[in-house]
């Protein structure tokens, strides 16, 4: 049996989480040149505790991006866990991601600022999207010549959607997300009617 975390372990984890959250705020604001003192003040922890968790700011910001990507990906996995059709899983994930740009503006800005890391990292959103594309190909739902090239197109499109939604806060996020998702589904080989059907399906509620 694994021993329960000690009080010191819990305190250490809270401090690390506070530093990561502070780094995500700075990333969202584009303030990656902030001093360690500013980061610890934002996290409301002692400056000396920083180096108990991270060797430098670069390591902290990497952890902040990884945490944001993984939280986003884990949420999509949770919301689509009961769906058997990989095309529906993929469509839901794209439509939910678009909506999250508005519901979680700070988190979504971290995702946008990570750029192509969305596609290239071995965790987070990219591997999950690739998994769903490959699953769709395996059961004949998608038809693509190269799944990694398809992932590149999808990643670029979802990043561009996020930039558009941030630039035009008055734009209808639901409509924009669904239009883009239908276009991507057609690119992956679905018919117009099937793409339209998938983006009309009800979505699980976002917390």
CA distances from 44 to 16, 31, 36, 48, 59 (A): 11, 18, 12, 12, 19
Q: 9-54 is classed in which CATH architecture? A: Orthogonal Bundle (1.10)
What residues contact residue 124 under an 8 Å CB cut-off, 6+ apart?
Answer: 66, 68, 69, 70, 72, 73, 117, 118
- Please tell me the distance from the alpha carbon of residue 73 to that of residue 114, in angstroms, as a whole number: 14
Nearest alpha-carbon partner for 158 in 137, 180, 143: 180
Output the pLDDT for position 100.
86
pLDDT for 7-39, tens place per residue?
A: 777 888 899 999 999 988 888 787 888 999 999
Output the pLDDT for position 121.
67
Distance of CA 38 to the CA centre of its chain: 26
Question: Tokens for 203?
Answer: 């979505």
Domain 65-199 has CATH 1.10.357.10: yes
- Please tell me the distance from the alpha carbon of residue 50 to that of residue 171, in angstroms, as a whole number: 40
SS3 193: helix
Asked if 116 and 158 count as a contact pair (C-beta separation under 8 A), the reply is no
Q: What is the pTM of this model?
A: 0.80
Asked if 23 and 49 count as a contact pair (C-beta separation under 8 A), the reply is no
Q: What residue ranges do the domains of the chain occupy?
A: 9-54, 65-199
- Please tell me the distance from the alpha carbon of residue 57 to that of residue 17, in angstroms, as a whole number: 15
pLDDT for 51-98, tens place per residue?
A: 999 999 989 988 888 888 888 888 888 999 999 999 999 999 999 999
């Amino acid at each position: 049996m694994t021993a329960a975390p000690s009080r010191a372990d819990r305190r250490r984890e809270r401090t690390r989480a506070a530093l990561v959250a502070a780094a995500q705020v700075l990333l969202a604001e584009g303030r990656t040149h902030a001093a360690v003192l500013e980061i610890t003040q934002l996290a409301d922890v002692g400056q000396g505790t920083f180096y108990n968790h991270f060797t430098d700011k670069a390591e902290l910001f990497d952890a902040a991006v990884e945490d944001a990507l993984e939280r986003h990906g884990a949420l999509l996995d949770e919301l689509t866990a009961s769906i058997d059709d990989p095309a529906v899983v993929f469509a839901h994930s794209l439509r939910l991601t678009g909506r999250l740009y508005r519901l979680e503006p700070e988190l979504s800005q971290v995702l946008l600022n990570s750029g192509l890391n969305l596609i290239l990292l071995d965790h987070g959103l990219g591997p999950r999207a690739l998994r769903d594309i490959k699953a769709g190909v395996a059961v004949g739902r998608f038809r693509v010549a190269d799944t990694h090239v398809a992932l590149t197109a999808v990643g670029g499109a979802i990043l561009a959607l996020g930039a558009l939604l941030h630039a035009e806060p008055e734009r209808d996020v639901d409509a924009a997300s669904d239009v883009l998702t239908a276009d991507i589904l057609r690119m992956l080989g679905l018919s117009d009617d099937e793409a339209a059907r998938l983006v009309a399906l009800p979505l699980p509620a976002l917390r």
